[in-house]
Amino acid sequence: MSSDRDALFAAIRDNPEEDTPRLMFADWLDEHGEHERAEFVRLQCELAQLADDASDSQAVYEFLRDRDHVTRPSADWTRIDDGIHRRIALDLRAADLFRRHGRAWGPQLPKKSGVEWSGFHRGFAHHVSLGNLRKLAALAPQLRGAAPAVTLVSTDFTARVVEQLADAGLLGWVRGLVLNSEHASGLRELGRHPDAASVRTLKVRGHGAGIELVSALAETPHWTGLHTLDLSETISAPADAEILFRTRSLHSLRRLHISGAGRWTADTVRALTAGGFAGLTSLRLAECGLVDDAAEVLAAGPHLTSLRTLDLGHNRLTGRGVTALLCSPHLANVAFLGLEGNRCTGLYAGRMATAEPGGLRLLHCHGCRFIASDVHKLARSPRLRTLWYLDLDDNGLGPTAVREIVRGFGKRCPPVVWLTHNQIGDSGAAHIAKSKAAAGLRVLHLKHNAGMTDAGVRALLDSPHLANLDGLGVSTESDELNARLRTRFRHSDLDYP
């Protein structure tokens, strides 16, 4: 039995990116009574396949998974999108199995080895921190036997670390890197090895790496296999970013996430849109100091038509730049557009009204300082006709804006609407309660709205047009109303008092 198991594991190790050997291993587990482990492998393999399908379902699911733990369990996603429903079901079942069996399924290395494991991917332990590397060569056979491929987590990724990994024959075992603090010398050394071409994910956290990091990636030849590059607070100078964007070995990226990068210019973004990143499906440029000129360059880029996720949170965009993004024919396939923390007031009415329909599913505008006239333009724009989820939290919106949402979207009302931390009052709640168009709502969040009393909450609960709600988030101290909320809705995840 053990020889069969070892042979199957060896096949996985030799072909770590293929699902077939993993699914054959799952079949073997089933045949030998390890049914839940087999199920876990299959669940995680399917989740990994879906993560790469570049669908609107995946774009929205990633937001729900990473940033909205309230809506995800409270909505009946079968009424909104089967793709999201499937992903949530897979994730919940895999998480349940991991809670019950993760410790037993994890690698069993001696504690004195200093090796720490966290998380599973496609059925096997995946994230590893190696600790003391002096005994790495002796541990190498056990490490290769513990997991077929790993993401290495390191706070001190120096050239010497890379040399030790190479001496132990473990460079090809590393398919991802999560690095903090020192990393530039290690990345430069790794980039000289052909094994760097097998690294699919690189996430770097740190302050002021700048040109050292960029040079390590741009001046070494073997970073050709990267699919995900995630840099936080590492690049601030626009010139450094432009070098990165012009590096041909990185043009196979599917996901590029950069945050905390200072103040970029339109020329910085122009280097990004010049044509090298035609395969990008996810682009996040948060806290990069982007202004409207940069947004217009991004919107005009003809080579970003594969984008499904575009997150530009916490920049310096206004209505002009946001209008360009929402009306761009090149960004028509974007399913998630994140604008959180930008001052987006002043959308252009004419352009918004004539924008071609696209595939936008989630518009995240938390704290964007929209006013009622902006909401009017959003609700009536053809580009927003396909929305599943609209977030207008913390915009200072009053009853007039609510009326614009109700009238503008009409029967096309997004199933999920967030309007917390506004000023809609009881009259705004009444607008929603009386609207026939509200019948399309599945989840409605109205907590922390100035002027909204128990009368407004009661109007919502009594509304025949809101009979299809799966979740309602409201603020009330009434025992009666809280009892009605708990009785009516399946989940308590909306943080009822």
Per-residue pLDDT for the chain (497 aa), expressed as one digit of tens each?
478 999 999 999 999 999 999 999 999 999 999 999 999 999 999 999 999 999 999 999 999 999 999 999 999 999 999 999 999 999 999 999 999 999 999 998 877 888 999 999 999 999 999 988 888 999 999 999 999 999 999 999 999 999 999 999 999 999 999 998 778 999 999 999 999 999 999 999 876 668 899 999 999 999 999 999 999 888 878 999 999 999 999 999 999 999 987 789 999 999 999 989 999 999 999 999 999 999 999 999 999 999 999 999 999 999 999 999 999 999 999 999 999 999 999 999 999 999 999 999 999 999 999 999 999 999 999 999 999 999 999 999 999 999 999 999 988 999 999 999 999 999 999 999 999 999 999 999 999 999 999 999 999 999 999 999 999 999 999 999 999 999 999 754 455 33
Residue the block writes with tokens 């915009």: 395
The whole-angstrom separation of Cα 362 and Cα 335 is 6
The whole-angstrom separation of Cα 128 and Cα 223 is 21
pTM of the model: 0.96
Q: What is the CA radius of gyration of the chain?
A: 25
Whether the CB-CB separation of 26 and 42 falls below 8 Å is answered with yes
pLDDT digits 0-9 by tens, 321-355: 999 999 999 999 999 999 999 999 999 999 999 99
pLDDT digits 0-9 by tens, 417-443: 999 999 999 999 999 999 999 999 999
Whether the CB-CB separation of 77 and 329 falls below 8 Å is answered with no
Structure tokens at 111: 């504690």
Residue 63 φ then ψ, to 5°? -65, -45
Write out the chain in H/E/C secondary structure: CHHHHHHHHHHHHHCCCCCHHHHHHHHHHHHCCCHHHHHHHHHHHHHHHHHCCCCHHHHHHHHHHHHCCCHHHHCCHHHCCHHHHHHHHHHHHHHHHHHHHHHHHCCCCCHHHCCEEEEEECCEEEEEECCCCCCHHHHHHHHHHHCCCEEEEEEECCHHHHHHHHHCCCHHHEEEEEEEEECHHHHHHHHCCHHHHHCCEEEEECCCCHHHHHHHHHCCCCCCCCCEEEEECCCCCHHHHHHHHCCHHHCCCCEEEEECCCCCCHHHHHHHCCCCCCCCCEEEEECCCCCHHHHHHHHHCCCCCCCCEEECCCCCCCHHHHHHHHHCCCCCCCCEEECCCCCCCCCCHHHHHHCCCCCCCEEECCCCCCCHHHHHHHHHCHHHCCCCEEECCCCCCCHHHHHHHHHHHHHHCCCEEECCCCCCHHHHHHHHHHCHHHHHCCEEECCCCCCCCHHHHHHHHHCHHHCCCCEEECCCCCHHHHHHHHHHCCCCCCCCC
The average confidence (pLDDT) of the chain is 95
Q: How far apart are the first and last CA of the chain?
A: 55
The whole-angstrom separation of Cα 22 and Cα 41 is 7
Q: Which of 316, 305, 314 is nearest to 260 (CA)?
A: 314
Q: How far, in Å, are 15, 30, 359 from residue 2 at the CA level?
A: 20, 15, 50
| Single-letter amino acid, residue 346 | G
